Structure 1
Amino acid sequence: MNIWTKLAMFSFYETERLILRPFFFTDVYDFYQIASDSENLQFIFPTQASIEESQYALANYFMKSPLGIWAICDKKQEKMIGSIKFEKIDEIKKEAELGYFLNKEYWSQGYMTEVVTNIRDLSIEELGLKQLSIVTHMENSASQKVAQKSGFKLYRRFKGSDRYSRKMRDYLEFRYTKGELSE
């Protein structure tokens, strides 16, 4: 069984407070609420000015190829509040990079740490991955805290081109490797 078959098996996944599931087109209003506020996505992609832009982004970047992309939903409110996805999957090396975002109304409550920790464990135990990485902008201290609280260790600092502005930026890469004990 390959990683894509396994990802399909886990397209719906539940944590203590959250449900991870594929995106639905009906998520567009929750998605627009997140995507239209620059604070929510300052390190992810440009702010979306209209519901039509959010419809396009949702359909083309989150629904078109859904395996390895989850909508994060609050169980109590039954609302889509963010996303976590594999940015890159290397089946040969058994490695992947995680990317995520969360509605700012849910920041500092441990939701993203809960999601990242669960996806980390799923990746190692069920998907057979050996290593995960999280790349953050140097100034994104919140995402760095999530990585560290989820057992990822700082691996390197590097410069790279921002995918939207094309400007050179400083980044930090955090890694979690199977078999390493987290602190």
Structure 2
Amino acid sequence: MIHFENYTVRRIVISDLENYFSLIENNRKRLEDFFTGTVSRTRTFEDTETFLREIIQKRYAKLYYAFVIENDENKELVGFIDIKNIDWNIPKAELGFYTDEQYSGKGISSKAFSLFVDYCFDHFGFSKLFLRTHESNIAAQKLAQKAGFQIEGKIRKDYKTTKGEVVDLIYYGKIRE
């Protein structure tokens, strides 16, 4: 667990179901293009429970790790961070991240993400972390840069959005110091 100010970054658990569903539901429109899997698998509360159980199970196989950012005062979920596309041979992994719209622009995401990156290097022993974002997602680009990630390039036609459009993505990487 990572604690800072009035927030905690921790692994998601099944008892987060209601708050997790609310986080997605409140941000569904913002998430639909670039969190295709999450949005498509969480249309109902029951679907979300199945999805949450599946992603929690994947951590036992060391395939995927899901974390939430929780407001310590009201226990609301402020954001979500995941570790995916893990290659233990290198070892490297991709990070994904989204924040509840009402908490955006307050510095919470930047602080949580930077601390989480350090946690990933220290706890999991990754030698490289990367993230992908669309050129329209300026907030994600700033977040990556503040956390010390560098642009590694633009990969053309790299991601299919929920609407079926195949778009270019900017890759950011950070090497363990």
TM range (shorter): 0.7 to 0.9
2:66 and 2:139 map into 1 onto residues whose CA distance is 21
CA contact (8 A) 1:87 1:98 kept: yes
State the AA in 2 paired with 1:176: K
- Give the helix-richer structure, 1 or 2: 2
Q: Distance in 2 between matches of 1:26 and 1:127?
A: 24
* TM-score (normalised: structure 1): 0.79
Given candidates 18, 26, 30, the residue that maps to 2:7 is 18
Q: 2:69 aligns with which of 72, 87, 100?
A: 72
Q: Structure 1: which amino acid aligns with 2:129?
A: L
Q: Distance in 2 between matches of 1:75 and 1:139?
A: 32
Q: Does structure 2 conserve the Cα–Cα contact (< 8 Å) formed by 1:23 and 1:71?
A: yes
RMSD after superposition: 2.1
Unaligned runs of 5+ in 2: none
Paired letter, 1:172: I
Distance in 2 (CA, whole Å) between partners of 1:69 and 1:127 is 13
Distance 1:173 1:70, change over 3 A: same
SS in 1 for 2:126: coil
Using structure 2 for the length normalisation, give the TM-score: 0.82
C-alpha displacement of 1:134 = 1.0
The amino acid across from 1:101 in the alignment is: Y
The count of corresponding residues between Structure 1 and Structure 2 is 167
The superposition leaves residues 76-121 of structure 1 with CA deviations (integer Å, 9 ceiling, x where unpaired) of 2222222111112222212111011111111111122112111211
Q: What are the within-5 Å matches in structure 2 for residues 58-69 of structure 1?
A: 58-61=52-55, 63-66=56-59, 68-69=65-66
Cα deviation for residue 164 of structure 1 reads 4.4
